[in-house]
């Protein structure tokens, strides 16, 4: 492409030159990597990350499933020891979600 590839670009000097030329750029160090981002983009990214935190939603669903599973197992133990007159009994944790 017409670029001499025998000369290596000094990444630190390039970063410093970019930051000097674009004061709205900010650098963020991530291990050996350096990330450059525009200040106006950071707020939008942070807002989006907090709105769509899929990991925390997945953890909440997993915890809820564990609570219901635990209650169902406890019900099985109780029902095997005691004769229940009710045929359709559900765990108390599920009654919290009735509409």
The confidence band for 89, taking pLDDT boundaries of 50, 70 and 90, is: low
Q: Decide: residue 93, CB within 10 A, 0-12 exposed, 13-18 middle, 19+ buried.
A: middle
Q: Which two tokens stand for residue 85?
A: 């007159």
Mean pLDDT of 13-17: 89
Sequence-ordered list of residues with C-beta below 8 angstroms from that of 24, at least 6 positions apart, any chain: 38, 39, 40
pLDDT tens digit sequence for 26-70:
888 888 888 888 888 887 887 777 676 677 788 888 999 888 888
Sequence-ordered list of residues with C-beta below 8 angstroms from that of 34, at least 6 positions apart, any chain: 11, 15, 27, 28
CA–CA distance from 93 to each of 41, 61, 90 (Å)? 42, 13, 8
Give residue 9's region: left, alpha or beta (phi > 0; psi -120 to 50).
beta
Gap between the Cα atoms of 49 and 30, Å rounded: 18
Reported pTM: 0.39
């Amino acid at each position: 492409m017409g670029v001499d590839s025998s000369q290596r670009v000094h990444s630190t000097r390039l970063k410093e030159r970019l930051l000097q030329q674009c004061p709205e750029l900010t650098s963020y160090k991530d291990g050996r990597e350096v990330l450059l981002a525009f200040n106006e983009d950071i707020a939008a990214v942070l807002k989006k990350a907090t709105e769509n935190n899929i990991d925390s939603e997945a953890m909440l669903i997993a915890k809820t499933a564990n609570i219901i599973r635990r209650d169902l197992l406890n019900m099985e133990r109780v029902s095997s020891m005691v004769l229940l007159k009710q045929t359709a009994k559900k765990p108390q944790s599920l009654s919290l979600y009735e509409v």
